[in-house]
Amino acid sequence: MAKKTDSEVGEMGEIKKLEDLPGISKATVEKLSAAGITDLISLAVASPQLLAEAAEISKETALKAIQAARAAVEIGFKTGDEFLKERESIEKITTGSKALDGLLNGGIETRAITEVFGEFGSSKTQLAFQLSVNVQLPKERGGLEGQTIFVDTEGTFRPERIVQLATALGLDPIKTLQNIKVARAYSSDHQMLLVEKIDETIRKEGLKVKLIVVDSLTALFRSEYAGRGNLADRQQRINRHLHTLQKLADTHGLAVFVTNQVMANPAIFFGNPTQAIGGHIVGHGSTYRIYLRKAKNEKRIARLIDSPHLPEGEVVFTVTPEGIRDES
């Protein structure tokens, strides 16, 4: 296919998809999609070298396409009040506990990554299950009438528990399960590939995904990149993984919820030695960080330890057969 000229493309306002760009054919779009470049914004922020290699085009053609994409998406600065107006479109998913929702100023936020970490049995996965059901609720009940994509890295997804939670909320359990797409990841590469394919899956299947769950974020990376010699490689890959998740959150207006494992730091003699896996990379990559720990019986304590605008705080909730609820 012959390359499009600038005159063939027409005015920049007509550029709405990748095929409208100069030098980008349908065959080139398929190559870009395989490389994770699926829309104008992702192409606009790509480097000419990366684009040329991914699309197998000349660097000059790649540069022209990038310039046209940048003009079409109007990349630039925004004023604070414009940003505030955009924030009005942020939505929240209820956790099932009013106390926990209050700690998060309304629930789990869209266009953000929420990380929960804690020891085994602290109910990280239970909260992930509950959110996967709650996101399907009507908006007046704290849901977003949306679907969930659940990446399971530890083999802990249990449809029986989803049925139990859905029934307790008066939802059709089979329909609820149908609205959750589950994939089991067996390696860190597999995990990253699954997440990179989510954008394509949403667009091709016309899904209304409002929640992505990764349970757990670091388990596979931790097992495959053992020792200090592999630490830098591990952190770079986790960083890339988090950036892919954040891009999905921004592009589709959905919430990302990740669970994380912990370790005990032997260098800490006073205070709590429990630390989340992933270090500063995960800490900086997560918008909200919540530390979960066990309390007496079915009670759990949630502590918000990091947020861009919310104060640190701590609440108690319970895990019942019906799901996440407030302390009775």
- Does residue 272 carry a pLDDT above 80? no
**Average pLDDT of the chain, as a whole number:** 90
Q: Tell me the CA end-to-end span of the chain in Å, nearest whole number.
A: 68
Q: Which pLDDT score, from 0 to 100, does residue 73 have?
A: 83
Report the range of poorest mean pLDDT among 143-147, 160-164, 257-261, 269-273: 269-273
**What pLDDT does residue 3 have?**
41
Q: How confident is the model at residue 4 (pLDDT cuts 50, 70, 90)?
A: very low
Confidence of residue 271 (pLDDT cuts 50, 70, 90): low
Query: Any idea what DSSP says for residue 20?
Result: G
86-106 pLDDT, tens digit each: 899 999 999 999 999 999 999
Nearest Cα residue to 327 out of 315, 317, 312, 314 = 317
Query: In this predicted model, what pLDDT tens digit does every residue of 280-294 receive, in sequence order?
Result: 999 999 999 999 999
Q: Bigger pLDDT: 69 or 141?
A: 141
Enumerate domains of the chain plus CATH numbers: 6-73 (1.10.150.20), 86-326 (3.40.50.300)
The region that residue 121 occupies, defined by phi over 0 for left and psi between -120 and 50 for alpha, beta otherwise, is: left
CB atoms within 10 A of CB 75: 12
- Model pTM score: 0.84
